[in-house]
Amino acid sequence: MKREGHLKSEQHTHSKLQNKRGWKVLAITLGACMILSACGNSNSITSDQAEQQSAEQASNNEASENSNQEQDSASEGAAMVTPDNFVDTLMKGSIEDIYRQLSPQMKEAITLEKLKTSADEFLEGVTSLDQVFAAEMNNLTEFAWKDQTGTKGIRAYFTEANQIDGLLIQPLETHEDTDQKFTKTEFHFPLKGEWYVFWGGNDVMSNYHYEHETQRYALDIIRSKEGFSYNGDAKVNASYHAFGEPLYAAADGTVVEIKNDIPDNVPGVMNPEEPAGNYVIIDHGNGEYSITAHIKKGSVSVKKGDKLKQGDLIGELGNSGNSSEAHLHLQVSDGPDLFTSRSINIRWADQSQQFTRGNTIQGLPE
């Protein structure tokens, strides 16, 4: 998520090409890739998964303006690549035009030749690419497409000036055997008011957790107002609309584990040593355990052994652990261990709402 205004972030640049399914995965992950990180396997925050913290997606207006001017000068007379013609440009093999519009940081991460090689291998056998997602957050717009077989996907991240600030090419796998299995317990959304599903769904294009069995059906939820997850200084937790919001038990159960002493991160500075940060794990019976992570330090209001009813206060949303900004990370697993248990699709009491990427969810009454 790109930050507006004066903030200048540190830039993290990774480029990784790896063999997978006979073609190469390309993940250029920069400060611009709008991907919320969440607790997961201890090594889950890696470059090839394109999990860059969204609070590092800031650049100041002056730098952006200068870059755009340089880009306009360099591309004078060339066709402008926009979200509307990106797929046509790619399918025609006009990779030079796409490369021309990459941000300076992305050009440092990958050469034109490597981009061409990756694109050629990705496009082998591809006859069409259909848009499956488009959403704007914090002045950066993400677009995602799948090929005709549903086995290849591509994401591109555009600024308002059509600079390409992120690009991800990846194979897509499905897990139909577990996609159709839901919890026996019915869960209620554990927050009040209106919320935005940042990651959620049964494919890796809508939910980056999906490729990991331990997190496959996890959700990352933020609070968005007027297209922004924050207001003010993007390096201050209190600027984020989600930070400090009360968090409630999603169903009846018994608390089996908590953590409450992990400091909240400066947004964008993550803590991989404590992936889940502060958390509450609740046993709901039927071999189902809800795991709520990244809770605000010192806010956990329950203790191990407490018997809870749905709607009981358990803490406040925070930014602890391997988290880039304040958000809800919620999953239900078949055991209490985040790193060895398998994630289960959540059965919601209100089945009228779709907990998939880009949707707005109405929570408990305020």
Q: pLDDT tens digit string along 63-99?
A: 444 444 444 444 455 679 999 999 999 999 999 999 9
Collapse the DSSP code of 179 into the 3-class scheme (helix H, G, I; strand E, B; otherwise coil) and give the result.
helix
The answer to whether residues 248 and 191 touch, using CB atoms and an 8 Å cutoff, is yes
Q: How confident is the model at residue 109 (pLDDT cuts 50, 70, 90)?
A: confident
Whole-number mean pLDDT of the chain?
Answer: 82
143, β-bridge pairs: 134, 156
Please report the pLDDT score of residue 73 as a whole number: 43
Give the per-residue pLDDT at 135: 86
Torsion of CA 321, 323, 329, 333, to 10 degrees: -50
Residue of 25 and 346 predicted with greater confidence? 346
Name the token pair of 115.
């981009």
The CA distance from 35 to 54, in Å, is 6
What local confidence, expressed as pLDDT, does residue 8 receive? Answer: 20
What is the four-CA torsion angle of 244, 249, 255, 261, rounded to 10 degrees? -10
Mean pLDDT value across residues 356-361 = 93
CA distances from 307 to 209, 254, 282 (A): 30, 5, 9
Arithmetic mean of pLDDT, 137-151 = 92
Share of the chain above pLDDT 90, in %: 68
- Distance (Å, whole) CA 283 – CA 31: 38
More confident residue, 52 or 5: 52
The pLDDT assigned to 47 comes to: 27
Please name which of 272, 315, 325 lies closest in space to residue 39, comparing C-alpha atoms: 272
The pLDDT value recorded for residue 345 is: 97
Comparing 70 with 279, which gets the higher pLDDT?
279
By C-alpha distance, which of 196, 176, 213, 186 is closest to 290? 186
Contact 290, 331 (CB under 8 A): yes
Model pLDDT, residue 196: 96
Mean pLDDT of 332-339: 95
> What was the pLDDT predicted at 55?
37
- Is 55 in a helix, a strand, or coil? helix
Q: How confident is the model at residue 205 (pLDDT cuts 50, 70, 90)?
A: confident
Residues 157/166, Cβ–Cβ less than 8 Å: yes
Query: How confident is the model at residue 238, as a pLDDT?
Result: 98
Q: Give the HSE-up count for residue 279: Cα atoms under 13 Å, Cβ half-sphere.
A: 25
**b/e per residue, 194-218, with b = 16+ CB within 10 A?**
ebbbbbbbbbbbbbbbbbbebbbbb
Beta-bridged to residue 23, according to DSSP, are 20
The CA distance from 237 to 62, in Å, is: 25
User: What is the mean pLDDT of the segment spanning 161-187?
Assistant: 93
pLDDT for the residue numbered 164? 93
- Which carries the bigger pLDDT value, residue 68 or residue 147? 147
Give the whole-angstrom CA distance, residue 208 versus residue 288.
22
Confidence of residue 366 (pLDDT cuts 50, 70, 90): confident
Q: Name the band, by pLDDT with cuts 50, 70 and 90, for residue 33.
A: very low
- Residue 57 CA to residue 198 CA, distance in Å, equals 15
CA distance 102 to 110: 10
d(CA 309, CA 203): 32
Structure confidence at residue 330 as a pLDDT band (50, 70, 90): very high
Q: Which helix (H) or strand (E) holds 28?
A: strand 23-29
pLDDT at 170 (0 to 100): 86
The predicted pLDDT at position 127 comes to 96
Q: pTM score, two decimals? A: 0.80
Q: What integer pLDDT is reported at residue 43 of this predicted model?
A: 29
pLDDT, tens digit (0-9, with 9 covering 90-100), for 214-244: 999 999 999 999 989 999 999 999 999 999 9
Exposure letters 30-44 (e unless 16+ CB within 10 A, then b)? bbbbbbbbbbbeeeb
- When mean pLDDT is compared across 5-9, 171-175, 352-356, the lowest value belongs to 5-9
What's the pLDDT score for residue 1?
30
Is pLDDT at 20 greater than 70 in this prediction?
A: no
Exposed e or buried b per residue across 45-73, where buried means at least 16 C-beta atoms within 10 angstroms of its C-beta: bebbbbbbbbbbbbbeeeebeebbeebee
Tell me whether strands 313-316 and 23-29 are parallel, antiparallel or unpaired: unpaired
* Closest among 104, 152, 96 to 144, alpha carbons compared: 152
- Which tokens sit at 171? 């194979």
